[in-house]
Amino acid sequence: MAMTMTQKIIAAHAGLEEVSAGQLVLANVDMVLGNDVTTPVAIREFNRLGLTEVFDKDKISMVMDHFTPNKDIKAATQCKMCRDFAGEHKITNYYDVGDMGVEHALLPEKGLVTAGDIVIGADSHTCTYGALGAFSTGVGSTDMACGMATGKAWFKVPSAIKFNLVGKLSGWASGKDVILTIIGMIGVDGALYKSMEFVGEGVHSLSVEDRLCMANMAIEAGGKNGIFEVDDKTLAFFEKAGAKAPTVYAPDPDAVYDEEYTIDLSKIVPTVAFPHLPENTHPVSEIDEVKIDQVVIGSCTNGRLEDLVVAAKVLEGKKVAKGVRCLVIPATQKIWEDAMNMGLFTTFMRAGAIVSTPTCGPCLGGHMGILAEGERAVATTNRNFVGRMGHPKSEVYLASPAVAAASAIAGKIVTPEEVL
């Protein structure tokens, strides 16, 4: 039976020769992930169920990233619960202040995910790792608890949508613009519980960072996961990160897809998602004046070094508009250090931006950049729901690092060309 990439990975982990869409299977997992918001819930369930041991101390990751450094007593209590549990069970991959990062940037950087893996995480953007040829998906904290104890999870095998990528990006267009364009085209429920499989010669022109951004936002189209074909760039990424040997799966030529789309990367232009859904997309060149109060460059979507380099290129020698707050948040400690050593911090600070420790902070309206009533932000994050970044009457506009940086300079949403 012909299978997609995702179906092949699930079949292998379930000990089956083949699986089909809609089938319920119990599969082994290679990594169970949680953060400082979701892990405490999982720990309470773990204890309530009378569980006493984790299945593998090396295959569980806990990343304190949402409210760290702790913003209040509740956040501190959450992290302490995780810290104590990790100590008790000798969890190898526990990351806290000083050795942490935004989880979906940190795990690939640490080489903890490789092609052919199944990764479950108590965070919806766990689908990020599909960029590396893994089947990764978000689960609830109860599933995380059971996964920590058994190393297994139940899945309904997803059907799939094929996105055949052709051509190459040009100008200031990036992976963020590609995925925003796709979500604008199919809608926030266009891939509901489906695997978004990205194939074609256009994949090879995309950086791994572009792919991580795109897979990250598969959930914003309702996808169960996003997944890319593995190529030489992926393999080079694994080697640099020190990841274990990958198991590479390609879709069968006659695999069944619910829908197929061809995306010409050469036609992708800088794009912004207006409030309050990622599907509400508009080419930046067609936007009437939208004044802004804040810009956030970072997150698990666009806080990688490549993103910061692009933002710095736009901001070099320029000034953030008066009345605009520009926050730059490197996604990991390593990215922070690399950006600093490259002189990017000097560029940001001379432009009037600030550089933060790695954190999810403003993305979920947690801390480090909350919006007041009536304020607008351009953010390189992945969600712009009502109240996502603060007051329910604030607005979030999703964009690439290039557009975010340009908008910080102009004080309104513009293309980079308009400020350079």
Assess contact for 122 and 86: CB atoms under 8 A. Answer: no
Q: 312's torsion region: left (phi>0), alpha (psi -120 to 50) or beta?
A: alpha
pLDDT of 255: 95
* Residues 211-249 pLDDT 10s: 999 999 999 999 999 999 999 999 999 999 999 999 999
* Residues 105-158 pLDDT 10s: 999 999 999 999 999 999 999 999 999 999 999 999 999 999 999 999 999 999
Rounded distance, CA 359 to CA 356, Å?
8
* Residues 279-315 pLDDT 10s: 999 999 999 999 999 999 999 999 999 999 999 999 9
Residue 274: is its pLDDT beyond 90?
A: yes
CATH level 3 topology of 5-264 = Aconitase; domain 3 (3.30.499)
Residue 68: is its pLDDT beyond 90?
A: no
CATH level 3 topology of 271-415 = Aconitase; domain 3 (3.30.499)
DSSP for 278-341?
TT-EEEGGGPPP-B-SEEEE-HHHH-SHHHHHHHHHHHTT--PPTT-EEEE--SBHHHHHHHHH
Using alpha carbons, list the distances in angstroms from residue 321 to 129, 351, 353, 407, 419.
36, 9, 10, 9, 11
Instruction: Record the pTM.
Output: 0.94
pLDDT of 340: 97
Residue whose tokens read 């020698």: 317
Residue 383: is its pLDDT beyond 90?
A: yes
For the segment 11-40, the average pLDDT, to the nearest whole number, is 97
What is the amino acid identity at position 133? Answer: G
Report the DSSP beta bridge partners of residue 354: 327
Same topology between domain 5-264 and domain 271-415:
yes
Rounded distance, CA 157 to CA 224, Å?
10
Sequence ranges of the domains in the chain: 5-264, 271-415
Helices (H), 165-224: 175-186, 208-216
Using alpha carbons, list the distances in angstroms from residue 133 to 128, 246, 346.
10, 9, 36
For the segment 344-354, the average pLDDT, to the nearest whole number, is 97
pLDDT of 1: 82
> What percentage of the chain reaches a pLDDT higher than 90?
97
pLDDT of 67: 93
